[in-house]
A and B are shown apart, each in its own frame.
Chain A
């Protein structure tokens, strides 16, 4: 499982790349592998307010529908519309071209609730049983 060390991770299996007061958000390698072939992604429109621990969109594999949970609160600056036509990027490049939204953070202290790569790995190992 690939887990870049510069990122923050949520217990709902999203990652966050912090760029100043902006959070770039996607789902982790663990999440995409559990989901299987991603065939549909639904993301919020630019300007939407997302709230930490609330759903901001949906990712669907062939078999299952899963909610996406915002790791931080803020306003959506950009959504990765490439995923409308190429949802498989979530599988092949979860941390790069498979990113989902860019959010202007309202409260950067929320980042403290997120996990570092090592503790997220331990968390997935526990969860994966």
Chain B
């Protein structure tokens, strides 16, 4: 066993994954399931029925106190001040110079209690960045270790979850990007109607120690509905079909929200936040490159890092790409010059030294109504 293997961390579901036949891989410092039975089968389960993911590696920070809302608001691009209790929003967190520190969701759990949910690979970096700005009148705590997180995603997610709550729990009352505390299988769970797949579904925050019992309860109630355990492989194909950004692939500190297509989560009028001035300047200047989605015309699968060519010249880079299980086509995401970012524009992708034709298409790549 090498050192890097010894240092990998495990979620409380590690034994459950091993017993379910998962193939484990290193991801963001954790040993995580990449697949159980097969990426395509798991992907299709989420699109057609439901899938259950362990995403306990994600980080959770809690801010409590009078200034908690103002503190989180200052750190992120979206308007945290408008959040009501039980509300959730998606945002970017930027450096003063506009580079993306992380993308995250923010929950208002109570009047003076907020939670920021960050990418696993960025927990330490985000913690340092946020803690260095945090207000006197606010407690700020990293609760990642004690928090378990399951994602139940797919058209059958709600009926499956309802089976765990006597009387069904009135899940229909939880709006998209809303969250409520519920008792599930004897565990206190924050039920959030959010996800990373493009399907209806929930993210379920619980005590880390409760995660295995919650997983088992969901699997046994859900099996008859077609629920399958899903790994990070399917999570990636599902999010790519929606063109949801993956930190470290599509966005990082060298990219800013406007070019990454995240302008919709930047709220300039709601008060100051870190990076606001720079983003205002960038907006006034006009964005020079854009993150677009494309489909391959020629054979080949675009992969992260492959050069994008326009008129034979290097013009950008692929940030994510895969064979789309739902569309049966090779699709990709990448940055191109804003002057060449129109839908229908021709690109070439350099795959192993050969230029292969591709075309910019409308995103998300996958639209629910087309297949129903």
* Chain B interface extent, by class: 10 to 19
Quick one: CB contact mask for A16-48 with B, threshold 8 Å, 1 for yes? 000000000000000000001101101000000
Within B278-315, the residues touching A (CB, 8 Å) are 299-301, 303
A37–B303 CB distance below 8 A: no
A63–B34 CB distance below 8 A: yes
A42–B38 CB distance below 8 A: no
Partner of B303 from the list A36, A42, A65, A84 (CB cut-off 8 Å) is A65
At the interface, yes or no: B368 with Cβ under 8 Å from chain A? no
At the interface, yes or no: B346 with Cβ under 8 Å from chain A? no
Query: Whole-angstrom distance from the CB of A89 to the nearest CB of chain B?
Result: 14
Q: Contacts A40-B323, A40-B330; is A60 near B35 (CB within 8 Å)?
A: no
B35–A36 CB distance below 8 A: yes
B299–A39 CB distance below 8 A: no
Within A70-87, the residues touching B (CB, 8 Å) are 84
Closest to A37 in B: B40
Complex CA gap A36/B39 in Å reads: 8
B233–A63 CB distance below 8 A: yes
Query: Whole-angstrom distance from the CB of A88 to the nearest CB of chain B?
Result: 9
Complex CA gap A36/B38 in Å reads: 6
Query: Whole-angstrom distance from the CB of A124 to the nearest CB of chain B?
Result: 16
B39–A62 CB distance below 8 A: yes
Complex CA gap A42/B353 in Å reads: 13
Q: Contacts A58-B352, A63-B34; is A40 near B301 (CB within 8 Å)?
A: yes
Interface residues of A (CB under 8 A from B): 36-37, 39-40, 42, 58, 60-63, 65, 84
Q: Contacts A36-B35, A40-B323, A40-B330; is A62 near B40 (CB within 8 Å)?
A: yes
Complex CA gap A58/B352 in Å reads: 10
On chain B, the residues within 8 Å of A65 by CB distance are 301, 303
Complex CA gap A60/B300 in Å reads: 9
At the interface, yes or no: B56 with Cβ under 8 Å from chain A? no
Quick one: CB contact mask for B31-47 with A, threshold 8 Å, 1 for yes? 00011001110000000
At the interface, yes or no: B236 with Cβ under 8 Å from chain A? yes
Pairs A-B, 5 closest by C-beta atoms: A39-B323, A62-B39, A37-B40, A40-B301, A37-B38
B237–A62 CB distance below 8 A: yes
Closest to B25 in A: A63
B299–A84 CB distance below 8 A: yes
Complex CA gap A17/B220 in Å reads: 46
Complex CA gap A65/B333 in Å reads: 18
Within B247-298, the residues touching A (CB, 8 Å) are none
On chain B, the residues within 8 Å of A58 by CB distance are 352
Q: Contacts A62-B39, A62-B323; is A42 near B300 (CB within 8 Å)?
A: yes
Query: Whole-angstrom distance from the CB of A39 to the nearest CB of chain B?
Result: 4
A37–B39 CB distance below 8 A: yes
Complex CA gap A63/B323 in Å reads: 9
Complex CA gap A65/B352 in Å reads: 11
Q: Contacts A36-B233, A39-B301, A40-B300; is A63 near B352 (CB within 8 Å)?
A: no
B236–A63 CB distance below 8 A: yes
At the interface, yes or no: B325 with Cβ under 8 Å from chain A? yes
Q: Contacts A36-B38, A37-B39; is A62 near B352 (CB within 8 Å)?
A: no
A60–B301 CB distance below 8 A: yes
On chain A, the residues within 8 Å of B23 by CB distance are 36
On chain A, the residues within 8 Å of B233 by CB distance are 36, 62-63
Closest to A87 in B: B323
Complex CA gap A37/B44 in Å reads: 13
On chain A, the residues within 8 Å of B325 by CB distance are 62
On chain B, the residues within 8 Å of A36 by CB distance are 23, 35, 38-39, 233
Complex CA gap A5/B247 in Å reads: 47
Q: A36-B38, A61-B39, A84-B299 are in contact. List 12 more A-B contacts (CB 8 A).
A: A36-B39, A37-B40, A39-B40, A39-B323, A40-B300, A40-B330, A42-B299, A62-B39, A62-B40, A62-B323, A62-B325, A63-B233
A62–B303 CB distance below 8 A: no
On chain B, the residues within 8 Å of A39 by CB distance are 40, 301, 323
Closest to B325 in A: A62
Complex CA gap A103/B325 in Å reads: 33
Query: Whole-angstrom distance from the CB of A11 to the nearest CB of chain B?
Result: 21
Complex CA gap A36/B234 in Å reads: 12
